[in-house]
């Protein structure tokens, strides 16, 4: 059985990096990260990470019900973060991903999240994103 989290992470990267309207707001596909951006990553960038969930044990079928947090980080203010979030949403919300070995049954943004980070450097970082519920069935 293929791991649903790894398969979904790969599908998210493929979907996000294939969005030219999104990557044009970033420094290309190299600005899309799984779980955490590396130290010193140049802004703006997008990070996606598993936020919770797991097997949906309602029956004997292989079903997965996970929440992924996808967010934009920018040093150019909240308006820029919102613009990136809109492009992420256009690619993910109510769309079909292609996780290897799995079929997406549903993919929806459930919650929007915005915040501001104040790192020790003093540079304010605006963050805008959402929590996306992705339900999978074994192919």
DSSP secondary structure, 55-77, as one string: E-TTSSS-EEEEEEEEEEEESS-
7 φ, ψ to 5°? Answer: -65, -40
Give residue for tokens 């919650």: 111
**Domain 4-51+61-138 is in which class?**
alpha beta
Return per-residue pLDDT of the chain as tens, 139 residues: 479 999 999 999 999 999 999 999 998 789 999 999 999 899 999 999 999 999 887 766 789 999 999 999 999 999 999 999 999 999 999 999 999 999 999 999 999 999 999 988 888 999 999 999 999 999 8
Give the distance from CA 105 to its chain's centroid. Answer: 17
Q: What is the pTM of this model?
A: 0.93
Burial 33-43 (b: 16+ CB within 10 A, else e): beeebeeeeeb
């Amino acid at each position: 059985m293929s791991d649903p989290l790894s398969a979904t992470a790969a599908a998210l990267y493929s979907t996000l990096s294939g969005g030219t309207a999104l990557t044009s707001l970033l420094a290309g596909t190299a600005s899309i990260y799984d779980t955490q951006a590396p130290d010193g990553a140049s802004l703006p960038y997008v990070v996606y990470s598993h936020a919770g969930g797991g097997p949906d044990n309602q029956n004997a079928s292989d079903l997965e019900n996970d929440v992924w947090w996808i967010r934009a980080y920018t040093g150019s203010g909240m308006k820029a973060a919102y613009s990136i979030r809109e492009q992420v949403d256009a690619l993910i919300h109510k769309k079909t991903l292609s996780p290897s070995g799995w079929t997406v049954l549903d993919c929806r943004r459930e919650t929007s999240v915005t915040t501001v980070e104040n790192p020790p450097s003093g540079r304010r970082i605006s963050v805008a994103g959402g929590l996306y519920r992705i339900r999978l069935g074994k192919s």
